[in-house]
A and B are shown apart, each in its own frame.
Chain A
Amino acid sequence: MRLLILLLLAGCASETTTLYEVELSGLVSFGATEGAVQIELEFAEQGEGELAHPLGEIERFEASLGEPFEHVFDYPQDEGVGLVVYAWHDADGDGALCAPGADDEPSGLIEVVDFPAHAVEVELELDAFCEGPEGLFP
Chain B
Amino acid sequence: MSRWAPLFLLLPSLALAGPKDAEPTPFSQGGDPAAFDIPGGGSPAGAWAVAVSGGYPWSSLRAQVGIRGGLTPVLSLETALFRRWEPSLGVSGRILDRPRGRISGELLVGWTIEAGEVHQNGPRALARVRVLGILGRVAPWFSVATGHTVYVDETVRISAEGEASELSARHEWTPVIEAGVVVGITKNLGVELGFDWHFVGAPDRFALPGLRFGVHFGAGPRPAWEAP
Smallest distance from the beta carbon of B158 to chain A beta carbons, Å?
Answer: 5
Whether the Cβ atoms of B152 and A9 lie closer than 8 Å is yes
A-B contact count (CB 8 A): 62
Whether the Cβ atoms of B152 and A6 lie closer than 8 Å is yes
Bound Cα distance A19, B168 (Å): 15
Whether the Cβ atoms of A13 and B160 lie closer than 8 Å is no
Bound Cα distance A20, B169 (Å): 21
Q: Is A21's CB within 8 Å of the partner chain B?
A: yes
Q: Is B3's CB within 8 Å of the partner chain A?
A: no
Whether the Cβ atoms of B154 and A12 lie closer than 8 Å is no
Bound Cα distance A10, B158 (Å): 19
Secondary structure at chain B's binding surface: helix, strand, loop or mixed? strand
Q: Is B208's CB within 8 Å of the partner chain A?
A: no
Q: Given contacts A9-B122, A14-B170, are A118 and B153 in contact (CB under 8 A)?
A: no
Q: Is A25's CB within 8 Å of the partner chain B?
A: no
Whether the Cβ atoms of B155 and A6 lie closer than 8 Å is no
Contact residue among B122, B155, B157, B159 (Cβ-Cβ distance under 8 Å from A12): B122
Number of A interface residues at 8 Å Cβ cutoff, please give it.
21
Q: Is A18's CB within 8 Å of the partner chain B?
A: yes
Whether the Cβ atoms of B160 and A21 lie closer than 8 Å is yes
Whether the Cβ atoms of A15 and B119 lie closer than 8 Å is yes
Bound Cα distance A7, B159 (Å): 23
Whether the Cβ atoms of A14 and B120 lie closer than 8 Å is yes
Bound Cα distance A77, B157 (Å): 10
CB-CB under 8 A from B120, the residues of chain A are 14-15
Taking A17-B153, A23-B160, A74-B157 as given, write out 9 further A-B residue pairs in contact, using a Cβ cutoff of 8 Å, ordered by the A residue number: A6-B168, A9-B169, A13-B154, A14-B122, A14-B152, A16-B153, A16-B155, A20-B158, A119-B160
Q: Which 3 A-B pairs have the closest CB atoms?
A: A14-B120, A21-B159, A14-B151
Give the B-binding residues of A (Cβ under 8 A): 2, 5-7, 9-10, 12-21, 23, 74, 77, 118-119
